[in-house]
Structure 1
């Protein structure tokens, strides 16, 4: 792609900048996010960043969106309990990548821009919860879970134990996805021995 000045535009800048911005958000939080440092670490200039993202908040939103753009696991062929195990395995894998838990903490900081926090909630948290709820609702339709199960409470519990253990500094136990899925299934009133 050629820029307005007639130079070839470096198409790799976006990916480099977003990766560095996401890392900085995770390591230092939103308040400490520095466009100058992002530019330096990504091997570009502040001007190149500001041509793409007009503000620090816009850059942070784009970085959070890039983190969210990971394809969910294929669950169509799995029975609901197995689908729940796969979803929780995918969750553990994603949140265990370097910087991901710290990024969760960044979203909880008071100084984090509301638009950035909202983008994270919409792009990362809501899709995961929606997939877990869809799995449990499929279990209800198939008669594996009672229709009166309190999914409003149960759905956040599915990932909450991971966050709770991480916050307390407790190691994640062996077979966390399978064990958590079994607890969630029983909490929803399903029979899982």
Structure 2
């Protein structure tokens, strides 16, 4: 006797739930995120949501996984231009609706450690790895000081954006270029492509 195939999973519902959950997680934080409210806004039932994700932690983790950064760290031919491009990509990502507030949610004490760990592994670490690879390539190529503090420079790359956001000082459109130029000079950067310390106006 041939068994009838079960009803196929509606991936459209999955996408709607994840989109709404991302909005709620960013806006309300992990603790206040309501699965009932998410199901209602996504146009489905709580039962349908629970069949896919058994609890809030699993759904929040799925949201983070869904926005994973899959870019790989490579050795760039032109580290300075690669730095500008990476910062421009960061600017596009963090400017998307809900992304900046999601960072705040991840820093809340009430966020599940598993969710925070997944966010770091899937979003933060790939970006930092690519930025560090760019800075390391510049050092290996003799384009920056051999003793440059790349750990501090790495934090400066994205930290300046968050600092301005906290101060309600909107970053300018040319933030990637200005930030890259400042970091490049701070670590003794010289060509090709980047601004040379000797090119700075003297008092």
> Residue 29 of structure 1 aligns with which residue?
29
Q: Which residue of 1 aligns with 2:199?
A: none
With normalisation by structure 1, the TM-score equals 0.90
Change over 3 Å in CA distance of 1:5–1:27 after alignment to 2:
farther
Contact between 2:72 and 2:126, CA under 8 Å: does it hold in 1? Answer: no
Deviates more, 1:79-88 or 1:29-38: 29-38
Query: What residue in structure 2 maps to residue 97 of structure 1?
Result: 96
Counterpart of 2:31 in 1: which secondary structure?
A: coil
1:65-144 aligned within 5 A: 65-69=65-69, 72=71, 79-144=78-143
Which one has a bigger Cα radius of gyration? 2
Residue 41 in structure 1 maps to residue 41 in structure 2 = yes
Extract unaligned runs of 5+ from structure 2. Answer: 197-203
Shift of residue 133, structure 1, vs aligned partner:
0.2
Q: Which residue of structure 1 lines up, in the alignment, with residue 19 of structure 2?
A: 19
- Please identify, of 71-80 and 87-96, the stretch whose mean Cα deviation from structure 2 is larger: 71-80
* Other structure's SS at 1:6 match: coil
Distance in 2, Cα, partners of 1:76 & 1:17: 38
Alignment: residue pair count: 189
With structure 2 as the length reference, what TM-score do the two structures score?
A: 0.86
Any gaps of 5 or more consecutive residues in structure 1?
none
CA-atom RMSD, angstroms? 2.0
Distance 1:190 1:87 in 2: 17
Deviation of 1:6 after TM superposition, in Å, equals 3.0
Task: Return the alpha-carbon distance in structure 2 between the equivalents of residues 58 and 161 of structure 1.
Answer: 32
